[in-house]
């Protein structure tokens, strides 16, 4: 029995929120696995030469307790083989990606180039430099608030739409620089950042940086990675302010304001933006979303211990519980609001795309390059969230279908009660589907009525 080529043992997971220590193993596809000390010992002793009995003997000695060959076989078959790190005839079943994860994606900057740039920007994380930039931003903000009129700059921009393209371009550059900040923080801590790419997260167009390797860092270094992005937004804003000091170009002031909005948005902890990873690393719990169900169950069971949370330290449990009791209602409200607004959003987006298409074609035929470029940006801005919404809804449908294919009897029981029916729980799925359809029909009729009124 041997490990799959490329499997790497990385030692303890530092700053772990579990009461019992965990260890990290990197799989050949660069994904990280978190395993118990006993499993780590088993993995460390699978050399492809020793028999299971010999492995069991060595594991028992290191563990300080007898471990039989049967126990080692059980651990390999039930714990390690499903994770795909032990060489077997059949590979592991690929896990379905979680719903709230980034899925539509494409690489933009290859890992080698990311590391090259990150190496050259590591010095920005030297503590005196960090303090200097934070103070500089405070100075810039005070200067802008005291001496400059932001709304005046915006109006100036509106009179010259070509300058809007400059703000859009600067914001895109700021987004890429933000990701480079994560990468540079990762290199500063001693990990290898991966690709920087673009994708759609839920409904939003995003840039992302693959920081899987930073799991190996200390909690402090992981937090530096989490904050590295917004810190680079700070650096970017200070550089823009310096450029404004030299040129006096109004788009730069608007771009600085946008950087502040970006920073504020990044601290939202309810979806996988930087704020989420900050909470996750403070708790030492890598997957907060996996803890939602047990936490809610624990809260509803009035203090009875829930196994999935009992393994956490009191500090981690407090952070996770606080995150869950704020995140669940927030995501619930947002989901309902989104559902209610879908027809109106689609109608507005369609109107917008139609009018933008006309404007852009007219600009193109008239040789108006700036107008055409702005039209194309608007079309992209309108189309991407719609594409994200469609992908999200399709994924929900596919996941639901997969789940019911895996448990067909559960679906059959839910939809067709055969004997001694208890209507309330068994009709739950039908009730939910009917409610969703009713809400959609109601809101779409309201949206149609509003549009008719608008046309009159």
Partner 1 sequence: MHGTDLTIEELQTQHAVELPARELMIGVSVLGLPLVGLDGLTANVDTSGPNWLFGV
Which positions from 163 through 182 interact with partner 1, judged by CB under 8 A? 164, 167-168, 171-172, 175, 178-179, 182
Residue 148 vs 410, nearer CB to partner 1 = 148
Please name the residue that has the structure tokens 């948005």.
265
Total of chain residues touching partner 1, rule CB under 8 A:
96
Report the run of H or E that residue 247 belongs to, with start and end: helix 219-247
Give the Cα separation of 209 and 124 in Å (integer).
Answer: 18
Q: Concatenated DSSP letters for 288-307? A: SGGGHHHHHHHHHTTT---H
Stretch that binds partner 1, among 125-133, 201-209, 417-425, 440-448 (CB under 8 A): 201-209
Stretch that binds partner 1, among 236-244, 373-381, 397-405, 407-415 (CB under 8 A): 373-381
Residue 321 vs 360, nearer CB to partner 1 = 360
Residue 116 vs 350, nearer CB to partner 1 = 350
Please name the residue that has the structure tokens 């933008």.
356
Report the run of H or E that residue 324 belongs to, with start and end: helix 314-365
Using CB atoms within 10 Å of the CB of residue 360, give its burial: 0 to 12 exposed, 13 to 18 middle, 19+ buried.
buried
- How far apart, in Å, do the first and last CA atoms of the chain sit? 76
Residue 238 vs 389, nearer CB to partner 1 = 389
Site string for partner 1, 289-308 (x = CB under 8 A): x-------------------
Interface with partner 1 includes 98 (CB under 8 A)? Answer: yes
Q: Is 88 left (phi over 0), alpha (psi -120 to 50) or beta?
A: beta
The minimum distance between CB 61 and partner 1, in angstroms, equals 7
Residue 385 vs 429, nearer CB to partner 1 = 385
Phi and psi at 271, nearest 5°, equal -125, 175
Q: Which of residues 202-221 bind partner 1 (CB under 8 A)?
A: 203-212, 214-215
Interface with partner 1 includes 393 (CB under 8 A)? Answer: no
Give the Cα separation of 387 and 20 in Å (integer).
Answer: 43
- 55 contacts 45 by C-beta, under 8 angstroms: yes
Residue 341 vs 410, nearer CB to partner 1 = 341
- 297 contacts 306 by C-beta, under 8 angstroms: yes
Q: Which of residues 26-65 bind partner 1 (CB under 8 A)?
A: 27, 31-36, 38-39, 60-61, 64-65
Interface with partner 1 includes 101 (CB under 8 A)? Answer: yes
Sign for the CA dihedral angle at 178, 182, 187, 191 comes to negative
The minimum distance between CB 352 and partner 1, in angstroms, equals 3
Give CA 143 to chain center in angstroms: 35
Residue 364 vs 414, nearer CB to partner 1 = 364
Q: Which of residues 339-368 bind partner 1 (CB under 8 A)?
A: 341, 345, 348-349, 351-353, 355-356, 358-359
Q: Which of residues 121-160 bind partner 1 (CB under 8 A)?
A: 154-155, 157-158
User: Diameter of the chain by CA atoms?
Assistant: 84
The minimum distance between CB 418 and partner 1, in angstroms, equals 34
Residue 74 vs 116, nearer CB to partner 1 = 74
- 312 contacts 17 by C-beta, under 8 angstroms: yes
Question: Of the candidates 47, 53, 149, 287, which one interacts with partner 1 according to CB under 8 A?
Answer: 287
3-state class (DSSP) for residue 36: coil
Residue 133 vs 276, nearer CB to partner 1 = 276
- 164 contacts 374 by C-beta, under 8 angstroms: yes
The minimum distance between CB 174 and partner 1, in angstroms, equals 9
């Amino acid at each position: 029995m041997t490990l799959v080529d490329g499997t790497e043992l990385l030692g303890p997971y530092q700053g772990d929120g579990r009461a019992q220590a965990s260890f990290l193993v990197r799989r050949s596809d660069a994904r990280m696995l978190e395993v118990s000390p006993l499993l780590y010992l088993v993995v460390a002793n699978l050399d492809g030469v020793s028999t299971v009995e010999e492995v069991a003997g060595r594991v028992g000695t290191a563990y300080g307790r007898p471990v039989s060959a049967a126990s080692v076989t059980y651990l390999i078959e039930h714990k390690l083989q499903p994770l795909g790190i032990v060489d077997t005839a059949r590979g592991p079943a690929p896990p379905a990606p979680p719903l709230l994860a980034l899925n539509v994606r494409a690489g933009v900057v290859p890992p080698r180039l990311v590391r090259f740039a990150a190496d050259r920007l590591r010095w920005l994380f030297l503590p005196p430099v960090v303090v200097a930039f934070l103070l500089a931003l405070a100075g810039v903000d005070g200067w802008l608030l005291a001496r400059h009129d932001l709304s005046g700059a915006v109006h100036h921009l509106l009179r010259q739409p070509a300058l809007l393209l400059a703000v859009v371009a600067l914001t895109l550059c700021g987004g890429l620089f933000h990701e480079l900040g994560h990468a540079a923080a990762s290199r500063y801590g001693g990990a290898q950042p991966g690709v920087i790419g673009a994708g759609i997260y839920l409904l939003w167009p995003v840039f992302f940086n693959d920081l899987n390797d930073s799991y190996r860092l200390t909690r402090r270094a992981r937090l530096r990675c989490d904050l590295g992005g917004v810190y680079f937004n700070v650096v970017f804003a200070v550089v823009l302010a310096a450029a404004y000091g030299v040129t006096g170009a109004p788009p730069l002031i608007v771009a600085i304001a946008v950087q502040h909005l970006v920073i504020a948005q990044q601290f939202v902890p309810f979806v996988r933006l930087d704020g989420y990873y900050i909470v996750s690393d403070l708790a030492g719990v890598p997957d907060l979303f996996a803890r939602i169900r047990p936490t809610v169950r624990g809260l509803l069971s009035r203090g009875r211990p829930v196994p999935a949370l009992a393994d956490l330290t009191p500090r981690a449990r407090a952070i996770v519980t606080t995150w869950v009791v704020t995140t669940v209602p927030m995501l619930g409200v947002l989901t309902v609001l989104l559902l209610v607004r879908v027809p109106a959003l689609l109608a507005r987006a369609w109107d917008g795309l139609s009018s933008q298409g006309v404007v852009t074609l007219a600009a193109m035929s008239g040789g108006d390059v700036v107008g055409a470029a702005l039209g194309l940006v608007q079309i992209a801005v309108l189309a991407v969230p719609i594409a994200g919404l469609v992908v999200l809804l399709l994924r929900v449908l596919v996941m639901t279908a997969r789940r019911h294919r895996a448990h067909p009897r559960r679906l059959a029981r839910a939809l067709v009660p055969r004997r001694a029916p208890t209507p309330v729980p068994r009709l739950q799925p039908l009730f939910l589907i009917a409610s969703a359809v009713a809400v959609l029909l109601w809101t779409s009729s309201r949206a149609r009525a509003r549009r008719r009124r608008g046309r009159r």
